[in-house]
Amino acid sequence: MKRWIVSSIMVLCSTMSARSETAFPSSPPGQFEVKTLPAGTLLESKTDGLYFDNSSTLFRPLFRYIDERGISMTTPVEAAIAPGRMYFWVSEEDVDKLTGDTDRVRVVNVPARTVASKGGRGSYSEENFRESADELLDWVAKQDEWIPTGDPFAVYWNGPFTLWFLKKYEVMVEIGAVEG
């Protein structure tokens, strides 16, 4: 019986993830890579505190905004750590449903970004973020052609009801070419 319940939950979680549109491909867990994130429209909620202390507070206004306007949920969700920011990507098909900023949500347009990324699997915890961020910055420091141009940020691929050991995440940092 327990096995059936676990299997059902796993199928439900993977089905929920499969129904959302993906803004860009994920990096495989445990691998480093350089990639370009596409230009796009994102919804932002923010706090003066740390992301990990406020993630549910950041999520609610974003979810309310897309739910009230019939905007599809996309993956991934981006998170700046300090100060805390959460970003939802808006699909091109849903951009016309945006009604501008609210007191808790801001519409932002971002240009294409070149990032270094380290894929991971596990809980969306501060410990996993910090460990992956340190490893990513060490990896970037060993690359002759790239330097970090910002702070590391998190990218989360699964919803809150996904079991922790099935969750995929990335830590990214924007990079620029070394001059010389």
Kindly state the average pLDDT of the residues 96-118: 98
Quick check: 31 pLDDT over 90? Answer: yes
Cα 16 to Cα 46, 74, 107, distances in angstroms: 26, 11, 25
Residue 58: strand, helix, or coil: helix
Quick check: 35 pLDDT over 60? Answer: yes
The predicted pLDDT at position 18 comes to 41
The predicted pLDDT at position 21 comes to 79
Quick check: 14 pLDDT over 50? Answer: no
The predicted pLDDT at position 179 comes to 85
Element (H, E) at 14: helix 2-18
Query: Where are the chain's structural domains?
Result: 2-177
Residue 19's pLDDT band, with cuts at 50, 70 and 90, is very low
Residue 102's pLDDT band, with cuts at 50, 70 and 90, is very high
Overall pTM > 0.85: yes
Superfamily of domain 2-177: Regulatory factor, effector binding domain (3.20.80.10)
DSSP, residue by residue, 71-131: PPPEE-EEEETTTTEEEEEE-GGGGGG-----SS-EEEEE--EEEEEEEEES---HHHHHH
Query: What is the per-residue pLDDT across 139-174, written as a single tens digit (0 to 9) for each?
Result: 999 999 999 999 999 999 998 889 999 999 999 999
